[in-house]
Amino acid sequence: MKNFRIVFLLFSVLVFPSLSSAEESVWIDRKGIISIGGHRFQMVFFNRNWVSHPQDTSIPGIYRIEEREAGRVRIGVHLPEGGEGTLDHRLEKKAENGWTLATEVSFQTEPDVRSGVMALRIPAAENRGLKLRIDGKEVICPIRPPEKSAIFFRKQCSELCIPAKDGEWIFRGSFFLLIQDERCFRNGRDFEFRFSLVPRRKDRRYPAKLNLEIEHRIPKWQPIDLRPVMNMGLADRTAGDAQGGWTDQGPENDLRMLWENPEKLPGEFRLIRPEENGGKACLMLRGRARPYFPAKAELLLRTPPQGRYLYLLHALAWGGTNPALGEVILTYTDGTVSKIELRAGRDVGNWWRPSALENGIPAWIGENASSYIGLYRSMFEIRPVPVKKLEFRSVGNAVWGILAATVGDFEIPRSPRIPSYILPGKEWRNLKFEKEIGKGSVVDF
């Protein structure tokens, strides 16, 4: 006989569904729309009442593909307000992560429209607070919809950088850019980037063109090898025996499932499998509940990493009321030393039921037999000088577990989304289904 248990889980997976890479991250899709990192960069016309006619419109007949070949598409345009014209996209790959895009629009007679732009949208829910860089200056996407105007940027530009979790998308050229918060309108959910086309003649709006260079700049990470200072594994057999894994709380409350789905682990870090390091896969530092863990660990770096940011993948247990957690001391090759002080609730949180913090984002989420669990990614600005030694020190309040560290020049965007869980309580209860399968029945596998 076999027992089957069905468990229902509901939580929002922490991803960054903004611009991201694919096998070929810039291409022309079947509708003739430019796809950039999985997002549509498309022609949109606005009539006198600001009704939009995007390329992906559900209204048939406005856009019809007339010619198509590798890297080029020619589309017939038939606007409801009048105007017969053509839209031409030419996309050429210039480097491994670089492309040029030439878009041109022409009409037989001047169309009765307010404007025509190339528009790119990214979801506001995941990108509020995103730090854009436009001509070297920082522009922040609003946390909340602006009260006075939906438009929060409007200017002639030569370079736009949009950060994503796997790098930066950079647009170069000479273009007038408008960025609008669509949340200011009914059913709006995005930030929209509108690139204006440049008329070929001064006395007419069309023909008009837009020439862009597009680059996907992928960050280079320098993972730090923590293996020499790792002192615990991930799985724990016996609670409180000062050996085994993670927080030493036994098999019902450990981190053994971390490697079940390697593709979900944050790629900027190099995590260690226990079997590759004598059973050790994390550094656990002392707290009140685990006084037998070491108070500090020093690590000499054979190949000194250099960058603007230090990232940690870590979590704490038994936090308590005192937020002081510990510090990281960096010694640089020029002999200088800098100190980073970490606080619970700001830089890192409890590994049970993780939530977004000021400088700590759940970068991995899982579940063990006791709770939903997670690990935090925290970013700390450091000097751009090679680091020759790292020292981790705990003040002895919370137990501090560190699984990985890396150095780089890229500031990973913070997703404001936080995990949510349905937990047993007054309104919800666990549903456990125990089914006895009849021997020889059709479900007796």
Residues 353-363 pLDDT 10s: 999 999 999 99
Percent of the chain with pLDDT over 70: 89
Instruction: State yes or no: pLDDT of 410 exceeds 50.
Output: yes
Name, in order, each residue with C-beta under 8 angstroms of 264's C-beta and a sequence gap of 6 or more. 364
Cα 298 from Cα 312, distance rounded (Å): 15
pLDDT at 433: 61
Residue 263 tokens, joined: 């593709």
> Is residue 437 within 8 Å of residue 1, measured between CB atoms?
yes
Name, in order, each residue with C-beta under 8 angstroms of 60's C-beta and a sequence gap of 6 or more. none
256-310: per-residue pLDDT in tens?
A: 999 999 999 999 999 999 999 999 999 999 999 999 999 999 999 999 999 999 9
**Residue 407 exposed, middle or buried by CB count within 10 Å (0-12, 13-18, 19+):** buried
pTM above 0.85, yes or no: no
Mean pLDDT for 398-420 is 85
pLDDT level of residue 197 (50, 70, 90 thresholds) = very high
Per-position DSSP letters for 22-71, written without gaps between them: -SSSEEE-TTSPEEETTEEEEEEEE-TT--EEETT-SSTTSEEEEEEETT
6-23: per-residue pLDDT in tens?
A: 333 333 333 334 454 445
14: nearest Cα among 360, 260, 263, 363: 363
Instruction: State yes or no: pLDDT of 331 exceeds 90.
Output: yes
pLDDT level of residue 440 (50, 70, 90 thresholds) = confident
In terms of pLDDT, which residue wins out, 205 or 432?
205
pLDDT at 423: 59
pLDDT at 200: 87
Write down the mean pLDDT value for the chain: 90
Cα 293 from Cα 296, distance rounded (Å): 9
Sheet of strand 296-300, all strands in order from the earlier edge strand to the far edge: 296-300, 387-394, 324-332, 337-343
